[in-house]
Amino acid sequence: MDLEKDLFEPFDSKKKPKPPRPPQNLRPECILTDKVFDACFQRECEPSKVIDLPGSGTFLDVNVVYGAGFIVDGTLDITPIRENFARVRFVFRVPFTVTGFDKGRKEPVTISDYVEFPKDIEVFLPQAPSEFSFRIVIETRSETLSEELVGGQLILAIGVFVVVKVVGQVQLLVQSFGYCPPPRECVEFSPEDVCDMFETRPLPEFFPIQIEDLEIT
């Protein structure tokens, strides 16, 4: 980077200053994109999600992987409450997968499950022409707060951050540098040949060192 080069160059008071860089060639562009009109977040916690373990119920190396949360079909309800604001109700679901090794059956086991949470919140939903449509979208980040194996059951405490957004597609005027440059050419994968690698190795030492080669004080 030029900045790093400038920082590490030795200082020379007699050196002429660099000429200013030419301005970037910005130009206005109209784009169609999703605009977030409102967003808020909440925390949800499931303190004791119980998962029945198949087989012997004796598991090792239990791992939980969470998927992206989503609004359950048929649960979204939007009701205007006053000008430019609405009540939004829905149920959202966070899927997850539990994997572990069953010591009794000596094989890995995968279990799919989910947690659900209801939402009842107030959002900014501005008045708009009837042809303009808003969407309610969510993003989630989930984590295991604690896990406990009890008999043939796994008990999880799950924490979820959920962000609720009011989104609408709009036309925006933005500053642009133009189209993106052409991408680099893909590098075709070819496995390395061990013999080719051997051809480039230097000749090793064939004999042990002699006492004269040691620096003995």
Domain count, the chain: 1
In a domain, 133, yes or no: yes
**What is the number of other CB atoms lying within 10 angstroms of the CB of residue 125?**
20
How confident is the model over 34-59, as a mean pLDDT? 87
- Domain of residue 114 covers 25-181
pLDDT at 57: 55
β-bridge partners, 161: 43, 141
- The Cα-based distances of 175 to 30, 170, 213 in angstroms read 9, 16, 69
57: left (phi over 0), alpha (psi -120 to 50) or beta: left
Structure-model confidence comparison of residues 23 and 55, the more confident one? 55
Residue 131, pLDDT > 70, answer: yes
Flag the least confident range among 52-61, 78-87, 143-152, 192-201: 52-61
Asked if the structure places residue 189 within a domain, the reply is no
Q: What is the mean pLDDT of the chain?
A: 83
pLDDT of residue 30: 93
Report residue 120 as tokens: 């009842």
Confidence class for position 195, pLDDT limits 50, 70, 90:
confident
Structure confidence at residue 207 as a pLDDT band (50, 70, 90): low
Q: Is the pLDDT of residue 35 over 90?
A: yes
State the Cα angle at 151 between 148 and 153, rounded to 5°.
Answer: 60
Q: Is residue 194 part of a domain?
A: no
Please report which confidence band the pLDDT of residue 216 belongs to, taking 50, 70 and 90 as the band edges: low
Nearest-angstrom CA–CA distance, 111 and 59: 12
pLDDT digits (tens, 9 = 90+) for 141-184: 999 999 988 877 889 999 999 999 999 999 999 999 888 887 77
Is residue 139 a contact partner of residue 165, using CB atoms and an 8 Å limit? yes
Domain-located, residue 83: yes
- Domain assignment present for 115: yes
Q: Is residue 11 part of a domain?
A: no
Q: How many whole angstroms separate alpha carbon 143 and alpha carbon 145?
A: 6
Does residue 207 lie in a domain region?
no
pTM: 0.71
pLDDT of residue 7: 37
Per-residue confidence (pLDDT) for residue 183, from 0 to 100: 75
- Alpha helix (H) ranges present in 157-204? 194-199
Residue 203 lies in a domain: no
